[in-house]
Amino acid sequence: MKYLDALIIGAGFSGLYQLHCLRDKLKLNTLVVEEGKDIGGTWYWNTYPGARCDSESFTYGFTFSEKIFKNWTWKERYPKQNVILKYLKYFSNELKLKKNIVFNEKVISAKYIEKNNLWKVQTNNKKKYYTKYLICAVGSLSSINVPKIKGINHFKGQLHHSGRWPRKKINFKNKIVGQVGTGSTGIQIAPEIAKRAKKLILFQRSPNFSIPARNRKLTKKNIKNYKQNFKKLRNFLKRTPGGHPFEFPKKSAFDFNETKRNLLYEKSWQYGTLSFRATFNDIVKNIKANQTAVNFIKSKIYSTVKNKKYADILTNFDHPFTAKRPTLNTNYYEMFNKKNVELVDLKQSPIIKITKRGIKTNKGEYILDKIIFATGFDALTGSILKLNITGKKGINLSKFWSKGPKSFLGLLVPNFPNLFIVSGPGSPSVLTNVPVQIEQHVNWITNCIKYLEKNRKKSIETTNLAAKKWQKEIMNSVKKTLFMKAKSSWYKGDNIPGKPKTFLPYPGGMPKYKSECIKVEKNKYKELKIS
Ligand code: NAP
């Protein structure tokens, strides 16, 4: 049994920075409990072939310390999974974080003991911790979604989910591989498997929009430039809606004739990065402007993919561009010109079951050596609810969120005093370049705890009213976007059977969100319950 000031669950980006802030700045007795064998969070688990971040490397890290920022050098435009892990190890070594982290320990429950104002946290190793503050830093995309397909346990070959990729290298040589899922992950894995396997059969349910990443080595000049402009860059990232190094222009798609508009799209297409959506200011909010982007992307797919049937399947979009998370790719569309790649349209021929030998659709059985599920996550709420958290009066978080997550700013939950969530539902989280949002969140939590400690307070809790108002703000903000026009998206919880259907992240942009957070802090948390 151990008594702590603060216990942080998860040793990814958020947990590591939160540990530094509470331990080193506030001098609190802090411990991180991590399920994995090492630090990294998302980047510890997602080791699948092709795993790489879609954010540009020089923006994908912490900016609170100029020294830490400048002493690390990103060498490619987009960082590979193992490079991000190396970065986090560098970060952790610089701040000597590991000594306050326990690994291989999974939190199985957390219960608030009202009479002592303490959280009792239990782990799978039968360890018990008592802590004043409990911080969920479990990541938005951690709880994997393995679809409940009939017969899944009967398959005799190997079956892997991208989010729990084995550490041991998998041999694809001479193998027939079936891959289910064509989101950000699937679009990264497939071209890599196609290079190695005898055959790749890709099972697509819905096509996703994908823009060429155009990864490249950073030149010495690029590196010098981003380091020299550290302060400018930091301020810029914090000012933009998504924490990315681009802004939306003033011009509408309709300020140009079709020829000029397509020239501008072409320029963005050649440039790569997630900034394609910012070619014009109205792509993400006006359905007609959006359609011009859709038409351009479709024309690119048709001019790349030689097999017309495949091009039709890949362009059969059921959502506006950006209504689901747009993806970046390296040779994804080009891959369909390879002889060893087959595309199966699950809209035409749905999967009936998984057999001993492979995948059976209503058009026949595909014999496979391996199956890869790139089927995503129970996003934003899944990893938090798995912790089995019980607040005041025995209220369980799963029950309290049974109709969707209720929180204030995604940070605090009514009935759950001194529980803080980093990048949780109700915050901009997955709609941003996540480390930028994490830094803002952790700073807010740290300042809040500092206030409580300085004023010798026992606890802080949000009210139901504040949570309701915030939920209303989320719903009002989402109306100004195209997100709800996606038939099915994990942003709305559609990918998990039985999950409440509600828009999960805050879509109003980081500057607006941040100003709300600052207001609460400046107001000395008056709209919250402090005792
Ligand atoms: P995802 O976007 O949820 O995609 C899951 C894919 O699996 C979709 O194509 C989905 O089809 C399909 N699928 C799910 N269940 C299925 C079933 N029962 N049968 C057939 N197909 C099924 O998951 P993800 O690709 O892992 O990405 C999740 C998020 O992680 C991304 O949106 C992104 O935010 C983040 N991510 C980022 C990067 C990066 O930065 N490079 C890389 C990977 C992931 P439907 O579309 O029809 O549902």
Enumerate the domain spans of the chain.
2-39+97-143+378-530, 158-373
Residue among 323, 349, 344, 346 nearest 487 (CA): 323
Residue closest by Cα to atom 20 of ligand 1: 205
**DSSP assignment of 130-166, as one string?**
EEEEEEE---SS-SB-----TTGGG--SEEEEGGG--
Q: What is the mean pLDDT of residues 57-65?
A: 98
Q: Are 149 and 203 in contact (CB under 8 A)?
A: no
Amino acid letter for position 278: A
Sheet order of strands, 370-373 included: 158-161, 370-373, 176-180, 199-204, 341-345
Does the beta carbon of 317 sit less than 6 angstroms from any atom of ligand 1? no
Find the 374 Cα to ligand 1 centroid distance in Å: 6
* pLDDT, position 320: 98
Cα separation, 413 vs 405, in Å, equals: 9
Residues 477-522 have pLDDT tens digits of: 999 999 999 999 999 999 999 999 999 999 999 999 999 999 999 9
Does the beta carbon of 152 sit less than 6 angstroms from any atom of ligand 1? no
Amino acid letter for position 340: N
Cα separation, 215 vs 103, in Å, equals: 34
- Supply the mean pLDDT for the chain: 97
Residues 335-357 have pLDDT tens digits of: 999 999 999 999 999 999 999 99
Statement: residue 1 has pLDDT above 90: no
- If pLDDT is split at 50, 70 and 90, which confidence band does 40 have? very high
* CA angle 181–335–146, rounded 5-degree value: 15
Strand duo 199-204 + 364-367: pairing: unpaired
Q: Are 470 and 446 in contact (CB under 8 A)?
A: no
* pLDDT, position 112: 98
Does the beta carbon of 429 sit less than 6 angstroms from any atom of ligand 1? no
Q: Are 124 and 143 in contact (CB under 8 A)?
A: no
Find the 436 Cα to ligand 1 centroid distance in Å: 23
- Domain 2-39+97-143+378-530: give its CATH code: 3.50.50.60
Residues 202-261 have pLDDT tens digits of: 999 999 999 999 999 999 999 999 999 999 999 999 999 999 999 999 999 999 999 999
Closest ligand 1 atom number to CA of residue 149 = 18
Does the beta carbon of 147 sit less than 6 angstroms from any atom of ligand 1? yes
Residues 383-394 have pLDDT tens digits of: 999 999 999 999
Task: Give the containing element (helix H, strand E) for 461.
Answer: strand 460-461
pLDDT over 70 for what percent of the chain? 100
Three-state DSSP class for residue 514: helix
User: Residue 203 is encoded by which pair of tokens?
Assistant: 């099972």
Does the beta carbon of 352 sit less than 6 angstroms from any atom of ligand 1? no
* pLDDT, position 55: 98
Cα separation, 474 vs 478, in Å, equals: 6
Does the beta carbon of 506 sit less than 6 angstroms from any atom of ligand 1? no
Q: Are 113 and 120 in contact (CB under 8 A)?
A: yes
Does the beta carbon of 143 sit less than 6 angstroms from any atom of ligand 1? no
For residue 247, the number of C-alpha atoms closer than 13 Å in the C-beta half-sphere is 11
- If pLDDT is split at 50, 70 and 90, which confidence band does 159 have? very high
Residues 353-374 have pLDDT tens digits of: 999 999 999 999 999 999 999 9
Does the beta carbon of 503 sit less than 6 angstroms from any atom of ligand 1? no
